[in-house]
Amino acid sequence: MSQLHDLTVAELAAKLRAKDVSAVEVARHFLARGASHRSLGAYLAVDEQVTLAQARAADARIAAGESAPLLGVPVAHKDIFVTRDFASTAGSKMLEGYRSPFDATVVQRLAGAGAVTLGKLNCDEFAMGSSNENSAYHVARNPWDPARIPGGSSGGSAVAVAARLAPAATGTDTGGSIRQPASFCGITGIKPTYGRASRYGMIAFASSLDQAGPMARTAEDCALLLSAMCAPDPDRDSTSLEIAPEDFTRSLNDSLEGLRVGVPREFFGAGLAADVRAAIDAALQELRQQGAQLVEISLPRTELSIPVYYIIAPAEASSNLSRYDGVKFGHRARQYGDLIDMYQKSRAEGFGDEVKRRIMVGTYVLSHGYYDAYYLQAQKIRRMIADDFQQAFRQCDVIAGPVAPTVAWKLGEKADDPVANYLADIFTLPGSLAGLPGLSVPCGFGEAGMPVGLQLLGNYFGEAKLLNVAHRLQRVTDFHQRIPVAVDAAPEARA
């Protein structure tokens, strides 16, 4: 079974259906692999007994003749989704040891499709970060170079998939937190249209932006997972859209002949590193060779997306995180005087620096006298950014460009400069503010052999089109098949 981790989700599902391998065998293999690669920091919680019990149940369903699409396939969940059988911490000391009485809808739906849970994955605290260095427990390390960040906030998810510790994982994307770590770790990840996947049971950061999505090695795998994850959930999530479930695998082999690919001139300015640009240009030319037409477009308010996002997201975070006061749940300080002192000490001890920073910014922009000047203006510009995309989609079918200006940087390199971290989101934030679907697909390698991802953005409910473009690119390239050199090196070599 030494090669099980080299199989994609689709390949594993086929072997399980054919009974060439059992779900228990597959689960044991990945549990052992995860244990032997702890130094990468991908996991925050595992429970072998729970995983194997789920695998045995999957084997029983297979024996009974069931054919759920992911039956017996192992999947790991970002620790932002609550789960009954594993602790749910959101990467924060504030929720250390917390056990939810229910599973998030996304977790439920994947379980219904037959997926077996391997464990909970590392992430930036409350999904606030672009590097996974803000986890309260330990950093996650990029398997292509363990001295570098994997991206964030879904860094643990990206590491687990890239290092073959899990065939697939869930992630969340608020301002790029699926696409950016997918790019930095050389895997595929998609953020669907806002409202496609239920947010019920997803620990909130910024409610008007947070969206769940799958991360895997191939577009085909992401299509399988997304098909299981997306369905209306009106009784539990008021932002869930009444869009019928869709089989995203049906369009994976559509021709790209005549497809109009928009290339935003604002994505290719002086801030884009030469190595990243070279990989993106090569991918665009490959799409052209398959029949796509490249069209220059403009997204004129791209630069405004950073100040807009870092007003709106902290404002919503300030509101969402006010519930963590040490009273009903969450960390409570051991020693305090009165009620106010308990609030202050509990929050000071439970939250990390980045979370505190965003709470303070959010509280400020929502305060009397500043709401109109900052928050209200940011919402107006957000609408204009969305309008820019609609104008662009009159000229093209999908938009393509870089995910990030550079490849993954060294651990600690930007730790003392939060703004430098924020600027790395320049290409992912516009699509998030507009609520559009976005995808990252491996398209080459840059400095020091680090992966580069091509970002594809579509109009609302255009996930199938994005997945098809990515799939067609992966049919003629092998970037998604390459294995990080550091993955199976000796532990001391990875430290």
**Residue type, position 397, single letter:** D
Q: Please identify which of the residues 130, 135, 154, 177 carries the catalytic annotation.
A: 177
Which pair of tokens denotes residue 285? 């030319």
Q: Please identify which of the residues 22, 135, 153, 432 carries the catalytic annotation.
A: 153
Does residue 78 carry a catalytic annotation? yes
Q: Please identify which of the residues 15, 78, 120, 465 carries the catalytic annotation.
A: 78
Cα–Cα dist 15/413, whole Å: 43
Does residue 238 carry a catalytic annotation? no
Catalytic residue IDs: 78, 153, 177
